[in-house]
Structure 1
């Protein structure tokens, strides 16, 4: 597959994405850009010295000019929250970083599909959409793809069934107001409640699903990993590389990426995650999955929480 992918930010997430792309043979050319030139050169050297086990790939520790004609640009730049720093303060700092990056990269790669990974990802996706001047179909945030992956792993462990049999999603903000629309959660065509009854009838040793506990597992997993090892980057990198694969595929797929809403579910002018058609032409629209009234209200609550943050930052 011949594709050029630029990654901005060579921290744990950006460099792990570069490593994964290099070894999955997703890209033929990878450009890694970071303000810390020494760091990015070291990352590229380390990655490229292991590429003899795959077909040839070009890795460049570059500048914005090297991103010219990129098919996909992945933005991971930003800082982690410091002790005593409020979420708003962190948001404004990372928004300012994005504002400095955006005109430089858009000038070089105006036709690329952009994946925003920097946190808070929904706010950053919104800001990039507003200031980049690019068509909205070219812009998506990684959103709740990682949350959805965590949910499917949690369900597969609970029910002892392969993750590929599970179709369940996390909607809303990639954060505290995310939720699981259980109305649209299925295991091989059965609702989770129906699947539990079927497994019980087959003599399987399964317990009833505690849905609140499952949501807490999804929401708290990132914090637990950070507490234990200092950062999360393997799972998020895997999900971003999966998204890259969807963009480079021959047909559209569905994914919970963060993108601008225009009246879907009664929500306007905010980026968050719902089922979205993603493919070679970028975002092709939202698929409005069946949800009950309570779930729609949870989505609106998530949207309002994000709008409150947007109202307090300087665009």
Structure 2
């Protein structure tokens, strides 16, 4: 059986870490493409030299030529300028718009049937850009943010309660920015409400830390942004699609029709709970939020809208 083909655009920290994670799971053969061809080839070769030790047969190939990405089943866009200390995700808007636009044109040309997962910031605006430029069906283009934000939320809860991360199911929706919406009501510890384990003040502290979780890492690293947890988050989405897991995850997807109306975000890509399987976005789940959560949600949607309106699309 032919292995699936995954292309990762951008051989930086996220791209290279993801290539290793995917190869170790023998998920697919991987093409790592970067504007700096030497970096893509060097990192691909380095990963392949680990294969006899780690014991995988998936192949990782580095290139600078989009023709070599042709026929990909999944394409992940990690390319773009990273955040620097003091920058918001939004500061990257115009720089990364140009990157994502040109990458999307190449995907459309070489892999017209691919699923596209966008990771470049500002995430929701870049997902919208990829959707519009490729012209792909809305079930095939999505942004990875909710999985990462939910993982951060879960880890911070675990750290605060001293309870295993395996028991914690956390959920974050909204735009991938400082006004994302961690959902108290849908966050549980072994199926029990998180409020049983954390006081209102403690939970509020954890929520604030989640919102600024990316910025915390940017400040500490000083020369880049997070990459291990983002790469793991992309892996979860890729496996849900290729292995038809039909997992409920939070992802930035295009809202229109009934879902767009329900969430008051028609014509935008924003993070909502979806069922992710072999058809990509198979269903958008409509959540019954509290008044406070709806207020936070509307604020988040407004932030995304402001950015999208600036895009020259």
Give the TM-score of the pair, scaled to structure 2: 0.91
Residue 207 of structure 2 is matched in structure 1 by: 215
Contact 1:184 1:289 in 2 (8 A): no
2:241 is the counterpart of 1:247: yes
| In structure 2, C-alpha distance between the alignment counterparts of 1:85 and 1:255, rounded to whole Å | 28
* 1:91-133 residue CA offsets vs partner (Å, 9 max, x unmatched): 0110111111111122111111110011111110011111211
2:230 is the counterpart of 1:236: yes
Change (3 A) 1:5 1:164: same
Residue 250 of structure 2 is matched in structure 1 by: 256
Contact 2:77 2:116 in 1 (8 A): yes
Residue 302 of structure 1 is matched in structure 2 by: 300
Equivalence map 1:1-315=2 (5 Å): 2-27=3-28, 29-52=29-52, 53-62=54-63, 63-81=65-83, 90-193=92-195, 195-196=196-197, 210-229=202-221, 230=223, 231-262=225-256, 263-315=261-313
* 1:190-215 residue CA offsets vs partner (Å, 9 max, x unmatched): 2122x33xxxxxxxxx7666222111
Contact 2:24 2:56 in 1 (8 A): no
* 1:61-102 residue CA offsets vs partner (Å, 9 max, x unmatched): 122112222111100110124688786552011011111111
| In structure 2, C-alpha distance between the alignment counterparts of 1:88 and 1:293, rounded to whole Å | 27
SS of corresponding position for 1:274: strand
| In structure 1, C-alpha distance between the alignment counterparts of 2:5 and 2:90, rounded to whole Å | 34
- What displacement does 1:161 show? 2.1
Structure 2: gaps spanning 5 or more residues: none
Change (3 A) 1:39 1:266: same
* 1:117-163 residue CA offsets vs partner (Å, 9 max, x unmatched): 11111110011111211101111100221110011111122222222
Please tell me the root mean square deviation across aligned C-alpha atoms, in Å. 2.0
Contact 1:183 1:290 in 2 (8 A): no
| In structure 1, C-alpha distance between the alignment counterparts of 2:269 and 2:27, rounded to whole Å | 27
SS of corresponding position for 2:286: coil
Contact 2:73 2:113 in 1 (8 A): yes
Change (3 A) 1:236 1:89: closer
Query: How many residue pairs get matched?
Result: 304
Contact 2:89 2:177 in 1 (8 A): no
Give the TM-score of the pair, scaled to structure 1: 0.90
